[in-house]
Amino acid sequence: MCNLYANTTTQEAMRQIFKVRPTDDRLGNFAPQPAIYPRYDAPVVHVGNDGARELSAMHWGFVLPQVSKRRANRSSPRR
């Protein structure tokens, strides 16, 4: 996984490219992003509960386990 990428496509163009109905667009007021780093929200096309494609924002990056420095055991990962 790359740690940085860009999305310069407009919201309307993403809807057309991925055949997402306007009613299934959950991005709100989205603007193209020249830099998307881990821990940023980014646009994602996914299949919704009804089987139709949806466009929404999701958190970019891995959820890593946190290790306590005092106890050296694993704790719940940060969201």
Specify the amino acid at residue 24.
Answer: D
For the chain, what are the domain ranges?
5-75
* Number of residues assigned to the chain: 79
> Quick one: pLDDT at residue 5?
86
Tell me: the pLDDT tens digits for 10-49? Answer: 999 999 999 999 999 999 888 899 999 888 899 999 999 9
Strand runs (DSSP E) across 1-78, as ranges? 5-7, 33-36, 41-47, 53-59, 66-67, 74-75
Predicted confidence band of residue 4 (pLDDT cuts 50, 70, 90): confident
Predicted confidence band of residue 54 (pLDDT cuts 50, 70, 90): very high
* φ, ψ for residue 46, nearest 5 deg: -145, 165
Choose among 40, 42, 33, 44: nearest CA to 8: 33
| pLDDT of 79 above 90 | no
